[in-house]
Every structure is written in C-alpha cells, then in structure tokens.
C-alpha cells in the first residue's frame, strides 16, 4: 500500500514573502533558496522526525492570534538558539517545556505568528 512517509511541505500566506524569508534565514538559519523556500533533507543519523498533527479548532496552543497553523522546527540546541534570538531582539516566550518528547520553546515572527522550536531527546 502506498503511504505518506514524511512532510512534503508547509505552505502559508505572507504579507511580504521575501522579507519573511530573509528574517527566517537570518534568525533561524534556514537556507532559503532563490525560489523563496527552504528544503529539509531527512538524516536518519539525527534524532527527531517531521509530524503532521491536527489540533482542535479551539486550541490555544498556537497562541492568542488568529493564525490557523503553527510551524515547528527541530533545533540542535534550544537554550543557545533562544539566547541568540533574544539577543537579536526576537520576541521569545519565557516558558520552556520538557517532556519525554524533548524540549520546546516558542517565538513570535515579525508577522505575529507563534513558532515552536523543538529539541528532540538525545
């Protein structure tokens, strides 16, 4: 049987795609290519996976804004990245969560969207 084996892409609207792409490249290290997006190649030697997960329509997990999605990025060192982002003036949620799934932190991008940062367990 044919099946989905990972996330093929996340597509969302932006008021200024080029500026937002540049922001993500500068602050989160995304390798934004000429066509305006970034590719993530899976490496089985590294921890983590890509998830598809529906949430209830009334969830507060995406923050208080009207966004209907939330990006989750795997990171290699959550504490260091959060410190780096704070130093750059990025809005960083003070709360960091730890669970059996790893460590989680949140930021807000320039368009007001909440973004989750995830450091998988080692």
Go through the domains of the chain in sequence order and give each one's CATH number: 45-119 (3.10.180.10)
Rounded to whole angstroms, how far apart are CA atoms 25 and 102?
24
What value does the mean pLDDT of the chain take?
85
Residues 4-23 have pLDDT tens digits of 555 556 878 888 999 999 99
Scan for tokens 């507060």, then name that residue: 60
The predicted structure's pLDDT at residue 49: 72
pTM of the model: 0.76
Residues 49-82 have pLDDT tens digits of 777 777 778 888 888 778 888 888 988 899 999 9
What end-to-end distance do the CA atoms of the chain give, in Å? 32
How many CA atoms lie less than 13 Å away from 48 in the CB half-sphere?
Answer: 19
């Amino acid at each position: 049987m044919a099946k989905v084996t990972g996330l093929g892409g996340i597509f969302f609207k932006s008021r200024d795609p080029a500026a937002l792409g540049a922001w993500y490249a500068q602050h989160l290290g995304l390798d934004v290519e000429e066509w305006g997006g970034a590719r993530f190649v899976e490496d089985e030697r590294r921890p983590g996976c890509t998830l598809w997960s529906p949430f209830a329509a009334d969830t507060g997990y995406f923050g208080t804004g009207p966004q209907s999605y939330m990006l989750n990025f795997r990171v290699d060192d959550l504490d260091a990245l959060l410190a780096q982002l704070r130093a750059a003036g990025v809005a960083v949620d003070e709360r960091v969560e730890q669970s059996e799934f790893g460590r989680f932190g949140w930021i807000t991008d320039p368009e007001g969207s909440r973004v989750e940062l995830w450091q998988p367990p080692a």
